[in-house]
Structures are given as structure tokens and as C-alpha cells.
Amino acid sequence: MLEIFYMGGPLFMSILTLLLVAVLVSAWKFPQWVKELGILALTFGILGQLIGLYTAFNAMEQTPDISSSMLAGGLKVSTITTLYGFLIFIVSLIIRIVQKPRIQ
């Protein structure tokens, strides 16, 4: 599991982990912020993927011969932050649904 964390990029994966902790803490302290923190996590996940793709495309541009398996592997790695962001967003929505009667 730690290997996936490092493959996704320590910077964005750390930020997303902090957002996950913020979602869980805000579920008890500030329930009205849960959805917004989930959306922020989703946005950071997509941003991490876009920056990763940009970096990968720059590297591919400098290397003349890229195999399809190398390209597929790079695309697979670039989706890790987006998947983690989506997971945090789904967790925030589930928390929001469970707490909906309490928030109103």
C-alpha cells in the first residue's frame, strides 16, 4: 500500500491524506464542511493527475522511442491521485448522507 502512495507522488498523496483526515475530523466538529472538503480532495486528485501527465508527456517528448507498455504504465500511475481523490469524495458524500438529518 505504501508503494502505491509513493507511485502516486508523495506531495499530492500527502495533501490528499491530510484532506481525508480533515473530512473525518470535520464530520464531528464541522459537519457543514464535509462536502466541500470532499470536493477539494477530488479537485486535488485531478490536478495531481494533470501535472503527472504533463511531466510524463514532457519525458516522452524527449525520448524518441516509447513502447506502448511504457505508455500504458505511465497512464496507470497517473490515475492513482485521481482515484484517491474520488475515494475521499465518496467517503465525504457517505458521511454527508448519514449526517443529513443532523445537519438540518
DSSP character string of 13-32: HHHHHHHHHHHHHHHHH-GG
Q: Are 34 and 19 in contact (CB under 8 A)?
A: no
Q: Which of 45, 1, 2 is nearest to 20 (CA)?
A: 45
Q: What percent of the chain has pLDDT over 90?
A: 52
pTM, two decimal places: 0.86
pLDDT computed for residue 26 by the predictor: 94
Report pLDDT digits (tens) over 47-98.
999 998 888 888 888 887 888 788 788 888 889 999 999 999 999 999 999 9
Where along the chain do its domains lie?
Answer: 31-103
